[in-house]
């Protein structure tokens, strides 16, 4: 016996004949399809707005640089990705409902899709982990293209970021592909500002105040030069003696720079400081002559004294 739907039964109750009821039920199917499509479009629009608002809320609470241009671009990118995913899911559901209205048996299709989904789920656990980690890396703007970062086993300049992998280029040119799910911690040396550390090693007998004053003069002249004033954010600071070793005294100079400018600033300052100290006659490590005095106390260390000069042999008795 052929089964009919609610529309057929309703028309029959209203006194419509079998043919009319069948015709009405047939004509209602396109209307149902149109209604399902319209509902899907409305739900998609509401879901997209909800996702965008959710991303904006997370961005306002979590990020370090919520007002930066790059952070706004990241939020826009994540919103586009998630809204596309939401639209795809709603579109698939709408297609399934339409196929059901068209009389297609969805049970085998859904069963096959369920088995395939389970198999893919077991095999793609690490992939899902990479995507989730990449999502939060992009959302929180932990690093971006051009930043110099340290991921532990890999250090270099970021060349590309996706939801799955981060690509770094090391100083020697090696390209590292790091899955986002394996990133445990990130050291970003280019976030908002950088710092150049310049250690100057001089001999112990150097005039320390004179050396510190010379380094400070060079740093201030450097910061005021037209070619470098944009790279230096704050006045340079000479922190003084940073370390003492067998080679000499280490004096540290610190310069706050624009992002990714610390290495160029450090190289330029090292050259200028070297020239200034050379002109001032400041001795570097290894240029101090050490004099070792041997005293009577050094004999207690167990080192035998040098032997006395050999005396002439006394003449023996004449031969009998």
Question: Pairing mode, if any, of strands 165-169 and 249-257?
Answer: unpaired
Same domain, 25 and 86: yes
Same domain, 109 and 38: yes
The answer to whether residue 311 is domain-embedded is no
Same domain, 200 and 179: no
The answer to whether residue 293 is domain-embedded is no
Same domain, 228 and 146: no
- The 10s digit of each residue's pLDDT in 243-297 is 998 888 999 999 999 988 898 999 999 999 999 999 998 887 766 544 444 444 4
The answer to whether residue 248 is domain-embedded is yes
> What whole-number distance in Å separates Cα of residue 155 and Cα of residue 158?
9
The last residue of one of the domains, among 123, 149, 177, is 123
The answer to whether residue 104 is domain-embedded is yes
Instruction: Determine contact, residues 12/23, Cβ cutoff 8 Å.
Output: no
Same domain, 117 and 20: yes
The answer to whether residue 164 is domain-embedded is yes
Instruction: Determine contact, residues 180/165, Cβ cutoff 8 Å.
Output: yes
Instruction: Determine contact, residues 265/228, Cβ cutoff 8 Å.
Output: yes
- Dihedral of CA atoms 283, 284, 285, 291 in degrees, nearest 10, equals -20
- pLDDT per residue rounded down to tens, the chain (320 residues): 455 655 666 666 666 666 666 666 666 677 778 888 899 899 999 998 998 888 777 767 654 555 556 666 677 777 777 888 888 889 888 888 888 777 777 777 777 777 777 766 776 778 888 888 988 888 777 888 888 899 988 899 998 888 889 999 998 999 999 999 999 899 988 888 889 999 999 998 889 999 999 999 999 999 999 999 899 999 999 999 999 988 889 999 999 999 888 989 999 999 999 999 999 988 877 665 444 444 444 444 555 555 555 444 444 444 44
Same domain, 212 and 164: no
CATH number, domain of 152, equals 2.30.30.60
The answer to whether residue 292 is domain-embedded is no
How many structural domains are present in the chain? 3
- The 10s digit of each residue's pLDDT in 170-202 is 989 999 999 999 998 999 888 888 899 999 999
Same domain, 165 and 220: no
Same domain, 145 and 100: no
Nearest to 215 by CA among 252, 242, 184, 248: 252
Same domain, 171 and 242: no
Whether the predicted model's global pTM rises above the 0.95 cut: no
Same domain, 211 and 267: yes
CATH number, domain of 106, equals 1.10.287.1260
The answer to whether residue 36 is domain-embedded is yes
The answer to whether residue 134 is domain-embedded is no
Same domain, 94 and 18: yes
Same domain, 267 and 228: yes
Neighbour tally for 137: CB within 10 Å:
19
Coil vs helix vs strand at 187 = strand
CATH number, domain of 245, equals 3.30.70.100
Domain that holds residue 147: 141-188
Cα 309 to the center of its chain, rounded Å: 74
């Amino acid at each position: 016996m052929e089964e009919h739907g609610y529309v057929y039964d309703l028309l029959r109750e209203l006194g419509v004949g079998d043919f009319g009821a069948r015709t009405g039920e047939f004509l209602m199917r396109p209307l149902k399809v149109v209604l399902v499509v319209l509902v899907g479009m409305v739900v998609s629009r509401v879901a997209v707005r909800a996702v965008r608002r959710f991303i904006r809320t997370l961005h306002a609470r979590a990020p370090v640089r919520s007002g930066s241009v790059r952070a706004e671009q990241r939020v826009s990118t994540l919103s586009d990705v998630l809204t596309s995913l939401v639209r795809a899911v709603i579109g698939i559901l709408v297609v399934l409902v339409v196929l059901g209205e068209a009389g297609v048996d969805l049970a085998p299709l859904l069963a096959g899709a369920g088995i395939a989904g389970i198999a893919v789920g077991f095999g793609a656990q690490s992939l899902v982990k990479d995507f989730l980690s990449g999502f939060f890396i992009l959302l929180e703007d932990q690093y971006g293209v051009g930043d110099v970062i340290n991921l532990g086993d890999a250090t270099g300049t970021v060349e590309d970021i996706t939801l799955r992998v981060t690509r770094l280029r090391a100083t020697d040119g090696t390209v590292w592909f790091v899955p986002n799910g394996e990133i445990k911690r990130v050291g970003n040396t280019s976030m908002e500002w950088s710092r150049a550390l310049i250690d100057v090693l001089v001999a112990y007998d150097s005039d320390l105040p004179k050396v510190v004053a010379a380094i400070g003069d060079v740093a201030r002249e450097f910061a005021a030069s037209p070619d470098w004033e944009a790279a230096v954010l704050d006045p340079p600071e000479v922190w003084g003696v940073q370390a003492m070793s067998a080679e000499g005294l280490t004096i540290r100079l610190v310069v706050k720079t624009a992002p990714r400018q610390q290495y160029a600033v450090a190289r330029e300052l090292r050259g200028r400081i070297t020239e200034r100290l050379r002109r001032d006659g400041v001795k570097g490590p290894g240029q101090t002559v050490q004099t070792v005095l041997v005293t009577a106390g050094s004999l207690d260390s167990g080192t035998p004294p040098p032997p006395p000069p050999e005396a002439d042999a006394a003449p023996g008795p004449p031969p009998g």
